[in-house]
């Protein structure tokens, strides 16, 4: 498969989701820099695309592509964009990916190949369909999948897309619930304090987390300011596959938020779901 650069690259930001688990419109959330997810996503896409459009379930206006395929999710948004300009390649991105950076998108574009290009997900290694490039050649497959009532864009990419390793494990973490929003804010807004000396934290792991880390207890020197940042370090080091929305945190024997301030010698427990009756 050879690099494919013939078709112009346009951006499609998905902002039409129902946001039922979040309880509010995810495109209006502000993570950092005073920008809404909608504004930040559009700015990111403009850094690599010739034109950027917003995908909405309904509505009109400059730069808006309304979904012409009904309530079938992102697949309908992709098909609607391809209907509008079948000669363009489309970089499709969900608005609820607050850890995506310009460098992440530039990596995807550099790896652009025929048919489709997507990141290989950290969780199970599946293609990530909502930060991916769909070339014009994919239109027939998109329409065929809709005709077959298979509305999962991941299925569309399996065995077809050129897969690119993620630049870091949490690069495409999304926020579907208030808890995930709080965790990602803790990563983005606090930052690793360069002037803060590394502290010792005492960690305990259970169940699948214990299996993936390889030990049940670990003392770790880190400059992380909160559990969210500390867990990012662990994901990098131990290639942890569990999604963070499946994990609870305790600090010094009490359940805690992902943004809780950590102190020297704190005891931290990361708890995945427990199996058993």
Helix (H) or strand (E) holding 105: helix 102-110
**Are 107 and 165 in contact, with CB atoms under 8 Å apart?**
no
d(CA 194, CA 213): 26
Start-end of CATH 3.10.20.30 domains in the chain: 190-271
pLDDT at 189: 66
Residue with tokens 């999948």: 145
* 239 closest CA partner among 122, 99, 125: 122
Strands 51-56 and 9-14: parallel
Q: Taking residues 86-92, report their average pLDDT.
A: 97
* pLDDT at 63 > cutoff 50: yes
Start-end of CATH 3.90.550.10 domains in the chain: 9-165
Instruction: Output DSSP code: residue 121.
Output: P
Q: Taking residues 85-101, report their average pLDDT.
A: 94
**Are 82 and 24 in contact, with CB atoms under 8 Å apart?**
no
Question: What's domain 9-165's architecture?
Answer: Alpha-Beta Complex (3.90)
Q: How far is CA 237 from the centre of its chain?
A: 19
Helix (H, G, I), strand (E, B) or coil at 230: helix
* pLDDT at 142 > cutoff 80: yes
* 18 closest CA partner among 92, 75, 71: 71
Instruction: Output DSSP code: residue 226.
Output: S
CATH topology of domain 190-271: Ubiquitin-like (UB roll) (3.10.20)
Q: Taking residues 91-97, report their average pLDDT.
A: 95
pTM of the model: 0.75
Pick the range with the lowest mean pLDDT from 34-38, 96-100, 175-179, 217-221: 175-179
* pLDDT at 89 > cutoff 50: yes
For 3-62, the pLDDT digits (tens) are 455 789 999 999 976 667 777 888 888 887 789 999 999 999 999 999 999 998 766 667
């Amino acid at each position: 498969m050879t690099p494919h650069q013939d078709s112009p690259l346009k951006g499609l930001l998905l902002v039409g989701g129902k946001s039922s688990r979040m309880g509010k419109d995810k495109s209006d959330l502000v993570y950092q820099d005073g920008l809404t997810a909608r504004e930040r996503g559009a700015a990111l896409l403009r850094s690599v695309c010739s034109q950027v459009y917003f995908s909405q379930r309904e509505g009109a206006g400059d730069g808006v592509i309304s979904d012409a395929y009904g309530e079938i999710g992102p697949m309908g948004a992709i098909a609607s964009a391809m209907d509008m300009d079948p000669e363009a390649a489309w970089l499709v991105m969900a608005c609820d990916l607050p850890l995506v950076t310009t460098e992440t998108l530039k990596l995807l574009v550099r790896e652009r190949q025929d048919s489709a290009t997507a990141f290989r997900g950290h969780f199970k290694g599946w293609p990530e369909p909502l930060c991916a490039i769909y070339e014009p050649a994919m239109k027939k497959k998109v329409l065929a999948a809709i005709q077959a009532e298979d509305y999962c864009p991941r299925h569309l990419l399996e065995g077809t897309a050129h897969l690119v390793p993620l630049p870091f494990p949490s690069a495409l973490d999304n926020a579907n619930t208030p808890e995930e929003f709080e965790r990602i804010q803790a990563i983005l807004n606090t930052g690793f304090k360069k002037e803060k000396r590394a502290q010792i934290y005492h960690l305990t792991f259970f169940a699948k987390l214990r299996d993936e880390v390889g030990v049940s207890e670990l003392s770790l020197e880190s400059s992380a300011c909160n559990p969210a940042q500390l867990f990012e370090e662990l994901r990098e080091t131990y290639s942890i596959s569990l999604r963070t929305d499946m994990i609870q945190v305790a600090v010094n024997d009490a359940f805690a938020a992902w943004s809780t301030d950590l102190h020297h010698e704190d005891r931290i427990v990361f708890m995945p779901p427990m199996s058993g009756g």
